[in-house]
Amino acid sequence: MKRYLYYPGCSLRGTGKAYEESLLAVFKALDIELEELEDWNCCGATAYMSIDEVNAFALAGRNLALAEKKKLDLMAPCSACYLVLNKAQHYIKEYPKVAQTLEHGFKAAGLTYTGAVKVRHPLDILINDIGIEQIKARIKKPLAGLKVAPYYGCQIVRPYATFDQMYYPVSMDKLLRAVGAEVVDYPLKTRCCGGSQKGTLPEVGLSLIHILLKEAGRRNAQVVATICPLCQFNLDAFQEEAGKKYGEVSMPVVYFTQLLGLAFGFSAKELGLERNIVPAKRVLAKFEPAVA
């Protein structure tokens, strides 16, 4: 049985609850043991970088230091967390002076970090450690005929493409096909969702969101699958507003783990599908297990 350290990150405890719920369900079904990183702190996300870079690395650094003690790979499902943790590691290696500065911090805080932690994404783990066959074996209700647009967003394969191609990632495509879904060719799969732009320049943020949803529709997708809480939030929560401004769109946006979960026979509730603003029921109902 595989074991990993689990770094939820702030979003999975807030707007991204459904991601955590579905993720835990799916991993349980695959007998993957997750141990939550004790007393983890916010990774600093992208915002902190604009305030203070080295401190941002320090934030990530504390988590890495805590993780290193456990001698397990550290799984970060949120794209921002995944990137920041990776980036911190990268820069600690690349720039001796960053490392030196952090050393002082670590010493003062009674921490040590040698750079041994491997930061992993659920996609990476499912494809490379568990494998398609294992996943197929768990299917109770294949998602036959469900047309999905796989949306990776930016920070998973960029800039550190560790487990998938940078320009046209396919790991999620493979998983979705494995559970019977039909994956549409979606050229915008790594295009930015606008991140926090919605908050700062609504018209810009909304247009980016709209572009993604519209193209998914144009490719006859019935649902967009995401791997990032911020992407999901933007595409789901602001869909109505974007539609009002740039033309009607109606496209449920779910986490890939929710789709896997359905195929594994979990209920919409267990997978947090009810948390969607744009109801996913319309397209997904037929895959839900019959209420016993």
Partner 1 sequence: MSEEKPKSPQAGPNGFEPKIVAFFCNWCTYLAADLAGTSRVKYAPNIRVIRTMCSGRVDPQFVLDAFARGADGVLIGGCHPGDCHYQEGNYKTLRRVKMLRRVLREMGIEEDRFRLEWISASEAERLKVVVNDMVEKVRALGPLQGDGTRDSGLGIRGEG
Partner 2 sequence: MDARNGDVRIGVFVCDCGSNIAATVDVKAVAEYAAALPGVVVSREYKYMCSDPGQELIRQDIVEHKLNRVVVASCSPLLHEETFRGAVAKGGLNPFCFQMVNIREHDSWVHTDRARATEKAIALLRAAIGRVAFHKPLERKRVPIHPDVLIVGGGIAGIHAALTLANAGKHVYLVEREPTIGGHMAKFDKTFPTLDCAACILTPKMTAVKKHPNITLWTLADVTGVEGYVGNFQVTVTRRPRYIIEDLCVGCLECIEACVYKQAKVPDEFNLGLGKRKPIYISFPQAVPQIPVIDPETCIDFKSGRCKKTCIEACADRHAIDLKQQPQVETVPVGAIILATGYQPFDARKVPNYGYGVYPNVYTSMEVERLINASGPTGGEVVLRDGRKPESIGIIHCVGSRDEKTNKWCSRVCCMYSLKLAHLLKEHTGAEIHNFYIDMRTPGKGYEEFYNKLLEEGVHMIRGRVAEVTDWATTPEEEGKLVMCAEDTLISFVRRVPVDMVVLSVGLVPQDDAQDVRRLFNISCSSEGWFLERHPKLAPVNTFTDGIFIAGACQAPKDIPDAVAQAGAAAAEAMVLIDKGYVEMEPNTAYILEEECSGCKTCITLCPYSAISFLSDKKVAQINEVLCKGCGTCVAACPSGSIMQNLFEDEEIFKEIEGVLVNV
Partner 3 sequence: MAVKKMIKYEVERDREFAQWVTGVIGGERIRNCIQCGLCSASCPLAPYMDFTPRRLMHMAREGFKRDVLGSFTIWLCTSCYSCTVECPRKIQVTDIMYALKRRAIEDGAYPKRFPIPVLAGEFAAMIRGKGRVTESWLVVKVFLKASILRLLGMSKLGTQLFLRGRMNMMPDSIRNRKQLQTLLDAVEAHKEVAA
47 binds, among partner 1, partner 2, partner 3, none (CB under 5 to 8 A by kind): partner 3
Name the site residues for partner 3 (rule: CB under 8 A).
Answer: 10-11, 13-18, 39-42, 44-55, 58-59, 61-62, 91, 95, 97-98, 100-102, 104-111, 153-155, 158-159, 166, 191-192, 194-197, 199-202, 204, 208, 237-238, 241, 274-277
Pick one of partner 2, partner 1, partner 3, none as the site partner of residue 220 (Cβ within 5 to 8 A by kind): none
Cα-based distances in Å from 125 to 44, 201, 207: 24, 36, 33
Please, what is the minimum distance in Å from the beta carbon of residue 207 to partner 2? 11
Distance of CA 98 to the CA centre of its chain: 28
Q: What is the DSSP string of 105-134?
A: HHHHTT----S-PPEE-HHHIIIIII-HHH
Smallest distance, partner 1 to C-beta of residue 159, A: 18
Please report, as ranges, the residues that interact with partner 2 according to CB under 8 A. Answer: 165, 167-168, 187-188, 211, 215, 218
Nearest CA among 124, 38, 35 for reference residue 77 = 124
Q: Which helix (H) or strand (E) holds 94?
A: helix 79-94
Give the nearer residue to partner 1 in terms of CB position, either 93 or 244: 93
Site string for partner 1, 79-108 (x = CB under 8 A): ---------------xxxx-----------
Binding to partner 1 by residue 51, rule CB under 8 A?
Answer: no
- Under DSSP, the state recorded for 139 is -
| Upstream peptide bond of 289 is cis (omega within 30 degrees of 0) | no
Please report how close the Cβ of residue 102 comes to partner 1 at its closest, in angstroms: 14
State how far the Cα of 90 lies from the Cα of 41, in Å rounded to an integer.
19
**Minimum CB distance to partner 3 smaller for 138 or for 163:** 163
Q: Helices 202-218 and 239-246: crossing angle, nearest 10°?
A: 90
| Closer to partner 2 by Cβ: residue 110 or 187 | 187
- From the CB of 199, what's the least distance to partner 3, in Å? 7
Smallest gap from Cβ 57 to partner 1, in A, equals: 13
Decide whether 23 or 98 has the Cβ nearer to partner 1: 98
Name the binder of 21 from partner 2, partner 1, partner 3, none, CB < 5-8 A by kind.
none
Q: What is residue 272's DSSP assignment?
A: T
The DSSP symbol for 244 reads H
Between 71 and 97, name the residue whose CB sits nearer to partner 1.
Answer: 97
Cβ atoms of 252 and 178 closer than 8 Å:
no
Cβ(198)–Cβ(162) below 8 Å: no
Q: How far is the CB of 34 from partner 2 (least distance, A)?
A: 34
Least separation in angstroms between residue 167's CB and partner 2 is 4
Cα atoms in the 13 Å half-sphere on the side-chain side of 288: 17
